[in-house]
Amino acid sequence: MNNYKLSNFNFGRAFIYLILLFFALIYLAPLYVMFTTSLKDIEEIRSGNLMALPLDPTLYAWKKAWSSACTGSECQGLAPYFWNSVRIVVPAVIISTVVGAFNGYALAKWKFKGSELLFGALLFGCFIPFQVILLPMAKLLGELGLANTVTGLVLVHVIYGVAFTTLFFRNYYVGIPTELVKAAKLDGASFFSIFRHIFIPLSTPIFVVTIIWQFTQIWNDFLFGVVYSGSGTQPITVALNNLVNTSVGGKEYNVDMAAAIIAAMPTLVVYVIAGKYFVKGLTAGAVKG
């Protein structure tokens, strides 16, 4: 909390509120536009403008976006790809989080020769542009028979997600006093007992942060999705992009917008409900560097 205030109380503070509100509107504007456009019909879109409210709101665009819009050669809407994303995200988040928890625990509390180096090497992996692994990973997936499969995508997300999840857990566990581990060792607890009885009960906050982070990253991913999926196994981000860029018979902007909102919905909902933890995740990972 800061104790300083602007010298000219009323004018200064009014100005600040004004600016903040102004930017709040700017940040919200695209969301507003997306919603209103998705509820209009095509005629209204062509004749009206971005900011106008829908005269006669209709769910036509939503229904089409979900079940019959064309995403390339298929015209099944986003529904099947929504479920693809679910099938990718759920296992990938669970596996990468659990592995990250064990890794973070081992690195934070059971240091050995080279453990810091290992951590550094892992950390580095969070920063590489994924373009450098795209080609060899494609080859690997091909050889494992996982090209264009959901399993393949889950594998990729787990592999490259573990670097982040390990970082989160390790930084969190470093903050737990090591004397707890010493006391537990004297009490006769083993590596896994200590984890189970002492660390896991303390880990709810970091589990939440990590799961939300991973869920958001993986659901919103496009790069891995577009490179490693086939026409039936695409995640929703890829399908959305296809939908928007397919203009069979004239562009239906309302359908595009409805589709975009559908794609964004899960992570937005998660953010609204648990945004506090999401922010913690962002800044925890970043500020520590």
Nearer to other proteins, 15 or 68 (CB): 15
Q: Smallest distance, Å, CB 21 to other proteins?
A: 8
Which CB atom, from 51 or from 145, has the smaller least distance to other proteins?
51
Q: Give CA 261 to chain center in angstroms.
A: 15
Comparison of 93 and 263: residue with beta carbon closer to other proteins? 263
Give min distance, CB of 177 to other proteins, in A: 6
Rg (C-alpha) for the chain, rounded Å, is 24
Q: Please report how close the Cβ of residue 106 comes to other proteins at its closest, in angstroms.
A: 4
The smaller minimum CB distance to other proteins, of residues 50 and 59, is found at 50
With vertex at residue 90, the alpha carbon angle to CA 289 and CA 61, rounded to the nearest 5 degrees, is 105
Residue 136 CB, nearest approach to other proteins (Å): 4
Write down the least CB distance from residue 281 to other proteins, Å.
Answer: 11
Question: 120 or 232, CB closer to other proteins?
Answer: 120
Rounded distance, CA 94 to CA 75, Å?
32
